[in-house]
Amino acid sequence: MGQLRWWRKGKKAVTQTSWLALPQKTAADEPFRFDAEKNVIPHNRTTAEHVNYIFNTVVEQLTAPDAKLDIIGVSEGAVQVSLFLEKQENFKKWGKRAQAFASIGTYYHAHEIKNIDFADWFIDV
């Protein structure tokens, strides 16, 4: 989670912190210029888009339909997973498969959940 920038030379996704630490000729060089078209991974421009893409594309395509999910979210990732599951249509689709959700370093708390089904599941887990 958080690897939302594409480092073309390295051919891999990196975090914002990693982007600022990419190898340079000298320590005094400016960070690489970020191009909003060339250095963004489609459908992963934000953490919210990334969470949606992971659930509705990656997990859906790479796991069996009855596979159980153990979800780990950290900081903004935890918040965005919570907001994703807060939506009734998402919880209806993924709630029966989720068997655990570790929400670490979040600022979105259980008392803020408005989706009753998600709240009941969250408290029971």
Q: Which residues pair with 101 in a beta bridge?
A: 71
What is residue 78's predicted lDDT score, i.e. its pLDDT? 94
Q: Given this model, what pLDDT does residue 18 score?
A: 92
pLDDT score, position 125: 61
Residues of the chain predicted below pLDDT 50: none
Looking at residue 75, its pLDDT comes to: 92
Contact 82, 103 (CB under 8 A): yes
Verdict on whether the full-model pTM lies above 0.85: no
Q: Give the mean pLDDT of the chain.
A: 92
Residue 74, Cβ density class (10 Å: 0-12 exposed, 13-18 middle, ≥19 buried) = middle
What confidence tens digit (pLDDT) does each residue in 50-71 have? 999 999 999 999 999 999 999 9
